[in-house]
Amino acid sequence: MEQNEQKKTVFSAVQPTGTPTIGNYIGAMKNFVAMQDEHDCIYAVADLHSLTVDIAPAVLRKNVTEMTALFLAIGIDPEKSVFFVQSHVHEHAELTWILNCYTQFGEARRMTQFKEKSAKAPENVNVGLFDYPSLMAADILLYQTDLVPIGKDQMQHLELSRTIAERFNNRNGATFKVPEGVLPKYGKKIQSLGNPSAKMSKSSADANSYVLVLDTPEEIRRKFKRAVTDSDACIRYDPETKPGVSNLLTIYSAFTGKDMAASEKDFGGKDYAYLKDSVSDAVIEGLRPIKERYEKLIADKAYLTAVMKKGAESASYRARRTMSKVWRKLGFVRP
C-alpha cells in the first residue's frame, strides 16, 4: 500500500503580494498548519497568479523568498507537507490551458474578484486576470485534492474549480477528484479595522485598516486602538448590527482558541478600550513566535532555496502523474 493512501489530500496557496494580513492567517494559513498532522498536505506560493496585477520583478523575487520563510515560520514543516513555488512546476501552466477550454466565458466573467479587480485597475484588465480561476483550478486539480482550506472570498473560485472538474470528468471519464472548500470555524472573512463592512485587505489605501503578521507590537496596538466599533458600549457577537465589535471578538477567538461564548464571557461588563487591549495582547502573543522564527529563516537563503527545490521535486512528480492521465484522456499524442 502506498504511503498516505488513507489520508485526504489538502491543497492551498497564497499569492506573494507582500506580508500576509491576519485575515490571510486566520482565514487560511492557520488551517494549513492545523491540517498538517492528519492529512497529506500540499501548499504553494502562487507566484504565477501575482502577475495578474502589476508587480515589479525585484518585488516579486523578494516576495517569493519572504513568503517561503513565512510559510515555514507559521509552522509548515517541509518534512510533513509538500511546500513549493507554483512556477517551479510547469504542469500548472499546462493544465491551465486545458482547463481554459473547459471554462465558459460567462462563468469567468461572473467572478466577483474579476469584477472588483477590473474596477479597481481599469487600465490593466488583462486576460490573465480573467483567466485567474482556471489557473487556480489547475493548482487544485493537479494534485487530486480532497480539501482546500481557504477564506470566504475564494469560495466562488473553488466552486468554479468543482464545476470545471465535473465538466471534464463528464466528457472524458473520471480524471479529477472534485475538491471541497474548508472554511475556518472563526474568521472566514476578517473585516477591515477601519470599515468593518469590508474585507481586511492589504490593498486597502488605509494602512491602519489591516494588521500584517510581521507588524511590530506597537503597530498592532495602534491599529486596534483605532479600530471602528459602535456607540452602544456592549460587547457581544452580532455581526449584523455590531460588525466592528464582532470582528474584534472573532480575531480574539481565533488567536486564543476560545469559542465565541467563552470570548464574550471574557468581556462581560468591560469597555471597548479593554476589548481592544485584550485583542492586541492575544494577537501580539500569537504572532511573536512566528516573527522570531521568520527572522532566523529569512537570514538563511540557502536553506530556503533547498526547501523550494525539494518541494518542487515532490510536487512535480505528483503533477506529472495527473498530467499524463489528462493527455491520454484527451487523445494527445505524446513523444
Kindly tell me which residue out of 140, 211, 287, 304 binds ligand TYM, with binding defined by CB under 6 A: 140
Torsion angle, alpha carbons of 223, 225, 230, 232, to 10: 160
Considering the complex, state which of residue 150 and residue 323 has its C-beta at the smaller distance from ligand TYM.
150
23 in Cβ contact with 200 (< 8 Å): yes
Task: Tell me the C-alpha distance between 289 and 137, whole Å.
Answer: 33
> Cβ 299 to ligand TYM, closest distance in Å?
25
In the bound state, the residue with its beta carbon closest to ligand TYM is 27
Nearest distance, CB of residue 201 and ligand TYM, angstroms = 6
Per-residue contact string for residues 13-32; x = within reach of ligand TYM by CB under 6 A: xxx-------xx--xx----
- For residue 82, the cross-strand partners are 42
Please report whether residue 81 would count as binding ligand TYM according to CB under 6 A: no
C-alpha cell at 233: 458600549
Taking CB under 6 A as the rule, which mask of x and - marks residues 105-124 in contact with ligand TYM? --------------------
- Are residues 110 and 66 in contact, defined by beta-carbon separation less than 8 angstroms? no
Q: What string of DSSP letters covers 149-178?
A: E--GGGHHHHHHHHHHHHHHHHHHSS-S--
Q: Could you tell me the sign of the dihedral formed by the alpha carbons of 4, 9, 10, 15, in that order?
A: positive
Query: Nearer Cβ to ligand TYM, position 19 or 314?
Result: 19
The answer to whether residue 296 is catalytic is no
Single out the catalytic residue among 188, 189, 199, 276: 199
Distances 279 to 21, 122, 220, 273, 291 between C-alpha atoms, Å: 15, 38, 10, 10, 18
Q: Which H or E run contains 85?
A: strand 82-85
Active-site pick, 117, 189, 242, 276: 117
Rule CB under 6 A: which of 147-206 touch ligand TYM? 148, 150-151, 153-154, 187-190, 199-200
Task: State the minimum distance, in angstroms, from the CB of residue 112 to ligand TYM.
Answer: 12
Under 8 Å between Cβ of 135 and 48: yes
Is 298 exposed, middle or buried, given 0-12, 13-18 or 19+ CB atoms closer than 10 A? middle
Rounded to a whole number of angstroms, the minimum distance from the CB of residue 333 to ligand TYM is 30
Interaction mask 274-293, ligand TYM, x per CB under 6 A: --------------------
Whose Cβ is closer to ligand TYM: residue 14's or residue 275's? 14
Q: Is 12 in the site for ligand TYM (CB under 6 A)?
A: yes
Half-sphere exposure of 302 (CA within 13 A, CB side): 0
Half-sphere exposure of 178 (CA within 13 A, CB side): 13
Binding mask 43-62 for ligand TYM (x = CB under 6 A): ---x--x-------------
Min. distance of Cβ 76 from ligand TYM in angstroms? 14
Minimum CB separation of residue 305 from ligand TYM in Å reads 22
Nearer to ligand TYM, 212 or 326 (CB): 212
**Among candidates 163, 13, 173, 162, which has minimal Cα distance to 81?**
13
- Residue 199 annotated among the catalytic residues of the structure: yes
Cβ of residue 15: shortest distance to ligand TYM, in angstroms? 4
Judged by CB under 6 A, does residue 315 bind ligand TYM?
no
**In one letter, which amino acid is 308?**
M
Distance, in Å, from the CA atom of 55 to the CA atom of 105, rounded to the nearest integer, reads 26
List residues binding ligand TYM (CB under 6 A): 11-15, 23-24, 27-28, 46, 49, 136, 139-140, 148, 150-151, 153-154, 187-190, 199-200
Q: Which residues are catalytic?
A: 117, 199, 202
